[in-house]
Chain A
Amino acid sequence: MAAELLMGNNAIALGAIRAGVKFVSGYPGTPSTEILETVAKRNPGDIHVEWSVNEKAALEAAAGAAYAGARALVTMKQVGMNVASDPLMSLAYVGVKGGLVIACADDPGPISSQTEQDTRTFAAFSKVPVFDPSSPEEAYEMIGDAFELSEKYGCPVFIRPTTRVCHGCASIDVSDEIKDCKPEGFIKDTKRWVIFPNASYNNHIKLEKRRETLGEELSDYKYNFITGDGKMGIAAGGISWANAMEAVTAADIDCKMLKISTPYPFPERLAVRFLEGLDKVLVLEELDPVIEKELVFLCGKYGLSTKIFGKLTGDTPCAGELTVEAAKASIAKFTGVDIPVAAAKTDMPKIPMRPPVLCAGCPHRASFYAVKQAMKGKKAVFSGDIGCYTLGNAMPLDMVDTCLCMGADITIAQGIHWIEPDTVNFAFIGDSTFFASGMTGVLNAVYNKCKIVIIVLDNSTTAMTGHQPHPGTGVTMMGENGTPADIPAVLRALGVGFVETVDPLDLKAAVDTVKRAADFGEIAAVVFKSPCIAVTKTDASLKVDSDKCVGCSRCVNEIGCPALTIKDKKAVIEPSLCTGCTLCSQLCPCNAIGRC
């Protein structure tokens, strides 16, 4: 045992290893990514670890491992659960043999996500139990409890940390012991493993009974508990529990508190014991009003007159994070106790906005710019997708007209085409996203003879989530170097007639290729191949010859590179940022930018 500074995601990984996990799959997504990476890094040697092509593949493969009796872990972010929901809904009915835990990270705020959806709601919807840790320490313990529960009841189980638990670090004593779990192997039993309507009817009854049984059992779970006393109560779960405790401690308020660590099945007996004798309860939670609705339901069921305050009554924020400040404000209003909150300063000078941007030297900037140049004066719509390249929406590129979900660029472009055939419809997709959910969309276009132009931004990595390998790299999480999947070959095999690969940093060739693709007359694809600057050795920075520079600002205004600024009416390149990509030098009208 040694105290390690562990991120919540590291803690979940090490807790899973301790619990004897033998199969780990997932798809990268902030804030969940480091869970799987940590298992791979600390693999004792007998765990199969893989980045699957998407979340559906990850969950199905893990289900197979669990059918064969192994403990299996699947990792993803909340929107990944939407992709994995098809196998999840059925798996809840079929069940598992070895423990199967889905670590699905939610992102209140949202900080790096499309939605503020709540995996606790998904858990109730799919009838799958869920653990909700409020700290990395709890996450480390709960992942083991989740495996035990999964095996005891033969059902998949969720653990859903939120961003502040995933990316919060704490010093934790890590055990070296690993539970000895030897998989029994797959035992054929069609009644058990083949889902059929009549079996599902019976399984549905079992699921409802299990909810009651578990609600009772989890009322005694060590991380569901009541503290304090009084006529007023506060109920909270997840990171909101930590923030509520911080606020209550700071304000020195004495009240009855209920911590909910298993929002589904809800620990009913414990919650009723909490409600009894209380005049009113404030519920502090992020995303959906899950605990709040359960308490309102219990008050109705047991005829209690306790009033429940929270999101549904407008007493806590309905969206975004529940910060310590927000918790303090809600508690102050609820208790009538004046809780001082440090006011944000108001006399500040104007602070510049600093939205995230494509890095200096990012090949995506060149790709977007090439398409923009090729389509100058033409009617075109640019559908984008999820990844670093969503940042192509920022000025001055302004090259992302739509962004919905993984893979949707290719299919949305098709819908726009059928309604507006005189528009050139571009679909921008990254290499990892192409494999995750782009390929079926391409086939859909080919099959239905839809004329779109696909731009694959192949930077040889899953960049946004921190540079994970994918099928196009051939590298696996088991350390093998296989044959990389060939994107142009896949496009041709799917029936795309025009497929050309070009380096986007060669501006002239890139623009020319895009023009020919747009004029092709059928579905066409351009693969812009240039590695992410973070995974390759970059060139020496460029320099502006101030004698030649006329200060036209074309370089700054056209491409918005963070390494370029204007100082004293001349362009200046920040050498610590410039990667020598040469895009700016190719568009400088005065030939003023070159190697040092």
Chain B
Amino acid sequence: MTDILITGVGGQGIVLASKLIARAAIDAGQHVRTSETIGMSQRGGCVVSHVRVGGVQSPMIPLGNADVIIGFEPAEAVRCLSYLKEGGAVIVAKKGVIPVTSSLGGGKYDPDEMIEYLKKNVDRLIVVDGDAICEQCGSAKVLNVALLGAAAAAGLPGISPDALEQAVASMVPAKFLEINKMAFALGMNTCK
């Protein structure tokens, strides 16, 4: 049984990331449950996807149960850290997304402070410079696949990097496949 929590901000491609992991697991013959955030939060709010591989009842990961957290944004990774099990891994994008509330003076947000907290509290932390990968690929929309590449290289329990790459190939529209393959490879490299 493997629980993977994906968290970030609406519009970052989180729902597709969870579908890719689920596809890879199903292709490997496993039963999967997921739970997505769809609705108002997709407008720049907090978005969390739960992916549960193996025989479980609830679509939601209980607190302290996630094997892996993939954070598309440092503060959102910290917000969801209570879901991580002891010894679990966190893959997190370095760049913060500054909320409007913060720009308007509702509390300063320093993404580096979040990364520091993660470093102190996570046994296995992988910080990915997703921005650099997106720049190399020429699209801000490949952050999700870049992070999946990093997660695949770091080892998602029960899911092989090949299966994940296969899922990307079968689910990403042909038009964007090349840059996504590139992002996946660059993501994997960050973990090597």
Q: Is the CB of B59 within 8 A of A349?
A: no
Mask: chain B, 17-34; 1 = CB below 8 Å from A; 0 = not: 001001100100001111
Mask: chain A, 1-20; 1 = CB below 8 Å from B; 0 = not: 00101010000000000000
Q: Is the CB of A356 within 8 A of B42?
A: yes
**A342 to B59 CA separation, bound complex (whole angstroms):** 18
Q: Is the CB of B63 within 8 A of A562?
A: no
Q: CB within 8 A of B98: which of A3, A358, A565?
A: A565
Q: Is the CB of A349 within 8 A of B81?
A: no
Mask: chain A, 326-343; 1 = CB below 8 Å from B; 0 = not: 001000000000000111
**A357 to B103 CA separation, bound complex (whole angstroms):** 13
Which 3 pairs show the lowest CB-CB distances between chains A and B?
Answer: A342-B64, A112-B39, A168-B59
**A355 to B109 CA separation, bound complex (whole angstroms):** 15
Q: CB within 8 A of B45: which of A345, A350, A356, A576?
A: A356
Q: Is the CB of A349 within 8 A of B104?
A: no
Known: A3-B26, A5-B22, A242-B59. A344 touches B100 (CB 8 A): no
Q: Is the CB of A168 within 8 A of B33?
A: yes
Query: Which residues of the partner chain A approach B78 to less than 8 Å between Cβ atoms?
Result: 348-349, 351
Q: Is the CB of A356 within 8 A of B140?
A: no
Residue of A nearest to B110 (CB): A349
Q: Is the CB of B43 within 8 A of A243?
A: no
| Nearest CB in chain A: distance from B62 CB, A | 4
Q: B: which residues have CB within 8 A of A?
A: 9-11, 19, 22-23, 26, 31-46, 56-60, 62-65, 75-76, 78-79, 81-82, 85, 98-104, 106-107, 109, 113-114, 117, 121, 134, 140
Q: A: which residues have CB within 8 A of B?
A: 3, 5, 7, 30-31, 111-112, 135, 164, 167-171, 239, 242-243, 245-246, 249-250, 323-325, 328, 341-345, 348-359, 388, 391, 394-396, 464, 466, 556-557, 560-562, 564-566, 576
Q: Is the CB of A242 within 8 A of B57?
A: yes
Q: Is the CB of A5 within 8 A of B56?
A: no
Q: Is the CB of B44 within 8 A of A562?
A: yes
The SS class assigned to the B binding surface is mixed
Query: Which residues of the partner chain B approach A356 to less than 8 Å between Cβ atoms?
Result: 10, 40-45
26 of the cross-chain contacts (CB-CB < 8 Å) are A31-B39, A111-B37, A112-B39, A164-B59, A170-B33, A170-B59, A242-B57, A242-B58, A341-B62, A342-B65, A344-B63, A344-B82, A348-B79, A354-B9, A354-B44, A354-B75, A355-B99, A355-B101, A357-B43, A357-B44, A357-B99, A359-B43, A560-B103, A560-B104, A562-B44, A565-B103
Residue of B nearest to A324 (CB): B62
Query: Which residues of the partner chain B approach A576 to less than 8 Å between Cβ atoms?
Result: 134, 140
Q: Is the CB of A354 within 8 A of B19?
A: no
**A562 to B104 CA separation, bound complex (whole angstroms):** 10
**A111 to B42 CA separation, bound complex (whole angstroms):** 11
Query: Which residues of the partner chain B approach A249 to less than 8 Å between Cβ atoms?
Result: 57
Q: Is the CB of A342 within 8 A of B102?
A: no
Q: Is the CB of A354 within 8 A of B62?
A: no
**A391 to B103 CA separation, bound complex (whole angstroms):** 17
**A388 to B10 CA separation, bound complex (whole angstroms):** 14
Q: CB within 8 A of A246: which of B23, B40, B57?
A: B57
| Nearest CB in chain A: distance from B103 CB, A | 5
